[in-house]
Amino acid sequence: MGLLVISFFAFVSLGLPDGLLGVAWPGIRHDFELPVDALGIILVCGTGGYMLSSFLSGMLMRHLGIGKLLSLSCAATASTSFVYAITQHWWIFVMFTVIGGLGAGAIDTGINTYVAKYHSNRMMQWLHASFGVGITSGPVIMTLGISMTSRWQSGYAVVSIAMGILAAIFFVTKGMWEGITVNGNEEHHAESDASLIDTLKSIPVQLSMLIFFLYTGMELGLGLWAYSLLTESRGVAPEVAGIVTGSYWAMFTLGRILAGWYAKKVDDRKLIYLSVSFAFLGTALLLTNFGQLTSILGITVAGFSIAPIFPGLVSSTASRVGFRHQANTIGMQMAAASFGIMVVPSLAGVLAKIYGLEVIPLYMLTVLILMFMVFVYLDFQSKKPAKNNRCTKSR
């Protein structure tokens, strides 16, 4: 239980930097004399580092052990926030963005792997709700820091201290992460972990990566374009649209907290099927465009409904790909998710430029349908004993 609590705090800390950047960016841009689109450099560099470490995390965990990997990765993210707070050079800022991405990707994948292997879907839902707490708290911390010191650096200084403490905790407890027991007994599996190459060759793994690519792209894309759609195409007041967009993300945290309560009664598969069904409803409401109220309701329903899907997909990884591929696949899924976050919302912008903003709900619904079709196919294949060599996990 102690490691689980540490994991929750780690995910709160993991969400903090993502919440800081949006509020800090005007000050960063002013201090470094940057154009407004320089934010793209930060996003690409951070995402690139995240994708690389996520993709290789299974191999790194086998060589370093999960405890050592987490302590080193958390030290990397702590040093990144510290450098942000003190550097006066843009190139150093960018360089440490890559380092921070490397650390964040390894933390994300390492803890997801731990919870997926040794805990229930309920805990996975609450783990990702913790990330929501962090990403919601980040803007508050940065706003308070700027209001009290008139410097955006103060927000990063606070977060660097929090991440430094967490890195120390991971270092002290690194031995506890190896040979973890479940219900007081050492857990053994009939199959050893597969190599990175063997995992890459697996078609279920490739399709599972596609699911994450599509889902996370749709998740972020809907939240990213909601404000523009409401204000520029549907006549919603900017103040109201801002609240609705904020509510979309707030519903994520609420949805995952509530999903944790009923996840013990509903298995991963049923939870995903139920969530996608209501996500279809929310996205369809947004597509119909019967009025402002329908649009607002559609965004809210969609945000609440899709919240449990990502944790459920992570938790059920072994059922899709087999236990020996689980550690590698979770990292690859995280890398695919990051790539989806870059590609799917960007393609929405291209389509909106050609066909107008009203194409976005149809595009997001199409992405959701494609994701669901791949999931159903993999779910069907996983029920065939001859094609599904996996170990059953203790819960």
Which pLDDT score is estimated for 180? 54
If you average pLDDT over residues 162-180, what whole number do you get?
Answer: 84
Burial class of 291 by CB neighbour count within 10 A (0 to 12, 13 to 18, 19+): exposed
**Of 57 and 8, which is predicted with more confidence?**
8
Q: What percentage of the chain has pLDDT greater than the value 70?
A: 93
Cα dihedral angle (229, 234, 237, 238), rounded to 10 degrees? 10
**Of 133 and 212, which is predicted with more confidence?**
212
Q: Which pLDDT tens digit goes with each residue over 15-28?
A: 888 778 877 888 99
Tell me how far apart the alpha carbons of residues 72 and 48 are, in angstroms, rounded to a whole number: 18
If you average pLDDT over residues 42-62, what whole number do you get?
Answer: 86
- Smallest Cα–Cα separation from 107: which of 59, 44, 54, 58? 54
CA 66 to mean position of chain CA atoms: 19
pLDDT tier for residue 192 given thresholds of 50, 70 and 90: low
Which pLDDT score is estimated for 179? 58
Which pLDDT score is estimated for 76? 95
| Tokens 């597509």, residue located | 287
What are the backbone dihedrals phi and psi of residue 186, each rounded to the nearest 5 degrees, phi first? -65, 135
Which pLDDT score is estimated for 273? 94
**Does the structure show a pLDDT above 50 at 182?**
no
CATH class of 196-381: mainly alpha
Which pLDDT score is estimated for 313? 94
**Does the structure show a pLDDT above 60 at 186?**
no
Domain with CATH 1.20.1250.20 in the chain: 2-178, 196-381
What are the backbone dihedrals phi and psi of residue 185, each rounded to the nearest 5 degrees, phi first? -120, 140
Tell me how far apart the alpha carbons of residues 33 and 25 are, in angstroms, rounded to a whole number: 11
Which pLDDT score is estimated for 1? 65
**Does the structure show a pLDDT above 90 at 89?**
yes
If you average pLDDT over residues 73-89, what whole number do you get?
Answer: 95
**Does the structure show a pLDDT above 90 at 369?**
yes
**Does the structure show a pLDDT above 70 at 187?**
no
Helix, strand, or coil (residue 185): strand
**Does the structure show a pLDDT above 60 at 393?**
no
Which pLDDT score is estimated for 64? 84
Question: Is this model's pTM higher than 0.85 or not?
Answer: no
153-172 and 2-31 helices, crossing angle to 10°:
150
**Does the structure show a pLDDT above 50 at 392?**
no
What are the backbone dihedrals phi and psi of residue 181, each rounded to the nearest 5 degrees, phi first? -105, 155
Which pLDDT score is estimated for 190? 44
Which pLDDT score is estimated for 139? 80
| Tokens 């919440």, residue located | 19
Q: What is the mean pLDDT of the chain?
A: 86
Q: Which pLDDT tens digit goes with each residue over 226-284?
A: 888 998 899 888 888 888 887 887 887 888 888 888 777 788 888 999 999 999 999 99
**Of 263 and 376, which is predicted with more confidence?**
376
Tell me how far apart the alpha carbons of residues 373 and 392 are, in angstroms, rounded to a whole number: 25
**CATH number for domain 2-178, candidates 3.40.50.300, 3.40.50.970, 1.20.1250.20, 3.60.15.10:** 1.20.1250.20
Q: Which pLDDT tens digit goes with each residue over 307-361?
A: 899 999 998 898 899 888 888 898 899 889 989 988 898 899 889 989 999 999 9
Maximum separation of any 2 CA atoms in the chain, in Å: 63
Helix, strand, or coil (residue 186): strand
Distance from the first to the final alpha carbon of the chain: 14
